[in-house]
Amino acid sequence: MAKQNITLSLDKDVIRKARLLSARKSTSVSRLLSDELERIVRDHDRYEQAKRSARAALKKGIHMGGKITAKRGELHDRQGLR
């Protein structure tokens, strides 16, 4: 996969804290941000795929077993209630 650099503008305090955090993790700020951004994109892609699968399943429906033995008219016949 080809890599490309980007430029970010961040608050100085955020940069300072990011440097401390990346040092604790024995990595660079660039690697820390890269890994996190890749995780966000990967999670988003998984969510979108799951959403498409769920919508397809809902559209298809699920057979819950059993048989329909009465006709619609018989079930909604109100004359039998009197």
What confidence tens digit (pLDDT) does each residue in 23-54 have? 999 999 999 999 999 999 999 999 999 999 99
pTM over 0.85: no
CA dihedral 45, 50, 51, 56 (to 10 degrees): 130
CA 5 to chain centre: 27
CA distance 47 to 53: 10
Structure letter (DSSP) for residue 12: H
> Given a cut of 50, is residue 3 above it in pLDDT?
yes
pLDDT of residue 80: 57
| Lookup: tokens for 10 | 């961040």
Half-sphere exposure of 13 (CA within 13 A, CB side): 0
Percent of the chain with pLDDT over 70: 93
